[in-house]
Chains A and B, each alone.
Chain A
Amino acid sequence: MKAGQKKQVVRFSRLNRTLHVIMIISFMSLALTGMTLKFSYTGWASFLAHLLGGFESAGFIHRFAAVLMFGIFTTHIVDLFRRKKREFGTWKNLLFGPNTLLPMKQDWREFKASMKWFLNLGPRPAYGRWTYWEKFDYFAVFWGVSAIGSTGLMLWFPEFFTRFIPGSFLNVATIIHSDEALLAVGFIFTVHFFNTHLRPEKFPMDTVIFTGRIDIEEFKEERPREYEELRKSGKLDELLAEPYPDIVVRAAKIFGWTALSLGFTIILMIIYAMVFAYR
């Protein structure tokens, strides 16, 4: 058991972990700066705007973070192309292989099984590499980046875009941008946080997204199907790696906690703004 405890399964590549960290920074910045404007009628919004150096500097941060987000998105797409070339050969292998992120029949079956499990009507489904909620999260980003990103660009360059679209579309863009952002922020800081960190078996935090490593026992318990597949194909050993030193894990935890706290704070501020201060 000792040896097994020592070795950990590598679940995320270095690039993906880096992208996720940058994404956290970008997303938090976007959320904070954007919310000041959306909830400008609250005291905290005004306070935050001043804390950030005024609405102009908040706007600058917002756009800088948006550029980061576009960068992450692009890098991910480029990475997909690269991996298709190196690891999968064809798009078919990548998109429809066993570890695909596209929703499959298997996901529908797992969803139904999960419902049964939730209702105590069956055992916990043997989840694989990506669960259906993780796939939802993944595509939510695609949806979010396109919806918020495109409208955001319109609002960023209104003089350019109104050469092609009527001015009142900017009003529509504002609503989409703002409400979609609210959905994204609300979803990430509640549902995503629960699904990954706060569910009791992971509580208080799952550091796998920062370290990329997960204890093999945990892995076996959480994703039995993937574990089984890896064990059968003998590829498990390829994925085993030494755990990071404590200091790295602690840094990851500090960063994670900061992000979590910030996220929850933003949720509280949103609830306050929408429930108690709404005008």
Chain B
Amino acid sequence: MKLLLAKPQENEIAMNTAVISSAAVFRAFCVRRQRVRWLLLALLCTCVRALAQENSDCLDCHEDKSLTTVRDNKTISLFVDQKKFEKSVHGSLQCINCHAALAGKEMPHEVPVANVECGSCHDGEEKLQKESLHHKAMEKGDPLAPTCATCHGNHEIVKAKDKSSPVAPLNIPFLCGRCHQEGTKVSRERKIPQHKIIENFSESIHGEGLLRKGLIVAPSCASCHTSHLILPHTDSRSSISRNNIAATCTQCHAQIEQVHRKVIKGELWEKQANVLPACVDCHQPHKIRKVFYNQGMADADCMRCHQNPDLKASKDGGALFVNQAEVQHSMHQKIACSQCHSEVNASRRRACETITRKVDCASCHAEVGTQYAKSMHGVLIAKNDPNAPTCKECHGTHGVGGRRNPESPIFPTNIPDLCAKCHQEGKRAAVRYTGVEHEIVNRYTESIHGKGLIKSGLTVTATCTDCHTAHGVLPMSNDSSSVNPKNVPATCGKCHHGIQEKFLGSIHAKMVGKTDKQLPVCSDCHSAHTIRRTDIDGFKLDIMQKCGRCHPKIAATYFDTYHGKVSQLGYTKTAKCYDCHGAHDILPVSDPKSHLSHNNVVQTCQKCHPGATRRFAGYLTHATHHDPEKYPFLFWTFWGMTSLLVGTFAVFGIHTLLWLPRALKMKRERNQQRQPVARKEKS
């Protein structure tokens, strides 16, 4: 402590002051460079020995402990302790190496003596220091501004590793604290934005490590503020400016990305530091604890105003009341106000007055934010479309709940209603929609998924977001859309995995059915919002029309045979497309794995016709009598039968037509004969 409190003395050469281990390398380099310089100087000295003063010459006077001078109305000791000097890092130097202005001067020299220029050797440090806050103050003639010697001492400078050095890591807080501490002249007379710096630091995890546990690798003041280039955090070059603070912290906290990956994409700190809360927004400077700093404190600052239910924005009169209870029960209960409302400046009384941007959820939910930006919703928002939803339209604001909270609008059973707010017929999203899907919400409610969700309360049932995704919602026509035909199998496969596996091996899958034609996907057969149980008659009958959309000839000929006719009557207890061809694992008949391949067809028939044989399987299930080339015998049978029919009707038609007039005449004649008889009988 004595050293620290020693008065600044001149004519000393400053040592490198890097204190943290990483800086030690630099220091070693400087020392080596200086040694070379001393050699050259020594050589020079032997040449001009007659002119040069030996250290002993200086000490003739300066070893006198009572030697003093008065400067700025203060009596200053001019005593130089030879023993200590010789032990110092500069011990091998001549006095005039530093007190260069006295070289070759008569003894005793005149006073005042020019200041020692540490920078003549330590030019790197000098350059940095000249930019610093401390130097700027000195230039203005601020008597409180520190010089090299203020921190490093003068004749007795020892290595920074030496525990007795004022710039040894363990001593730095005390060194800085000489000025930056409550009650000092600096703290009283100069504008320092932080308060109780040393006190807070000593209680922080950094201070605890350094001061209590003696960990010299724990950061001291200079680790964050640097040794020489000390700048206010408002200066963009400062190591503690918003833009650089992350880089500063990550010097030691290299794995910070890992630690924060759940919430923050660490790389954003470096690329887009402005969108993220800076380290210090959560981990307040000088008060850093192992966990988030006591949130109550910073939030309490916000709540001072925002707990007022009548608080209105001066700009648009919008309510600014924050219901803290709501936050307490939300997903963000452990998140401080400033984490979302970034850009706050804790040094202002109204910390929020520096805020220029709206809350950007993507600063923590980076991945989701990227998805959203690409989604239809995000694209519209980017175009300032007033109808598109932002995060809060779906998630709410301070009360944001997770998807596992039944109260939350994004809880599975609430999602249809949430989306319906815009996508219901007549609502703002539905009115601008030009596609074919209508009554989406009502139809979904009646679908198997909707019934599962709403009637059966199965939260695992597919809701809007399961198929459309929550944040990457895109129109079907977009290649990246989860409901684009290309992606539909994978989307449905998220739940119906087994089916997807089968489907991907079928001729309808892109990998198998190599064709330019559009292949069907799940939704082409099952529909989208009206999806039904597959074991109900309606679906079973409908599916044949679905197959027929692409296979019109095959479907038409199917309806010419018994199976088709029965199903056309509305009955399902007969072979339908998928009964023979398979549904999701459909393959061409030529494929050995097909249900209808030579090896499998009999077995397939036997599903319904237990006595089926190979010959039985020869029945033409898609036969038509309209194709003379493919089915000549059917064609000729049909036309033979038709000829017989037409011939018979022609002969008997003519026969009847010719007969009719004769028969009429016959009847007339008979009536005429009978009439007199009838009259007689009556009379």
Contacts and interface: CB of A to CB of B under 8 A. Distances in A.
Interface in A168-185: 168, 170-172, 174-176, 179-180, 182-183
B641 A167 contact: no
B645 A183 contact: yes
A114 B631 CA distance: 43
A108 interface: no
A162 B616 contact: yes
B515 to A, nearest CB: 29
B620 A171 contact: yes
A41 B568 contact: yes
Given A118-B662, A133-B655, A162-B615, A167 B620 contact: yes
Contacts of B667: 200-201, 203
Residue of B569, B611, B619, B641 with highest tally of chain A CB at under 10 A: B569
Nearest to B566: A55
Contacts of A190: 649
Interface in B631-669: 631, 633-634, 637-638, 641-642, 644-645, 648-649, 652-653, 655-656, 658-660, 662-664, 666-667
B628 to A, nearest CB: 14
Interface stretch (B144-152, B468-476, B557-565): B557-565
A37 B619 contact: no
A82 interface: no
A55 B660 contact: no
Consensus secondary structure, chain B interface: helix
A179 B648 contact: no
Contact of A172 (B566, B615, B634): B634
Interface in A131-179: 133, 155, 158-160, 162-163, 165-168, 170-172, 174-176, 179
Contacts of A171: 561, 619-620, 623, 631, 634
Contact of A168 (B619, B638, B641): B619
Interface residues of A, number: 53
B670 A175 contact: no
Contacts of B618: 162, 166-168
Nearest to B622: A171
Residue of A183, A187, A203, A221 with highest tally of chain B CB at under 10 A: A183
Nearest to A191: B652
Interface string A179-205: 110110011001100110001110100
A36 B566 CA distance: 9
Contact of B566 (A37, A179, A180): A37
Interface of B: 556, 559, 561-562, 564-566, 568-571, 573-574, 609-613, 615-620, 623, 625, 631, 633-634, 637-638, 641-642, 644-645, 648-649, 652-653, 655-656, 658-660, 662-664, 666-667, 670, 677
9 contacts: A37-B566, A40-B565, A40-B566, A49-B569, A55-B571, A159-B612, A183-B648, A187-B648, A201-B667
Given A54-B571, A158-B609, A163-B613, 12 more contacts: A55-B573, A117-B662, A119-B658, A124-B666, A174-B561, A175-B638, A176-B637, A176-B641, A179-B638, A179-B644, A186-B645, A199-B663
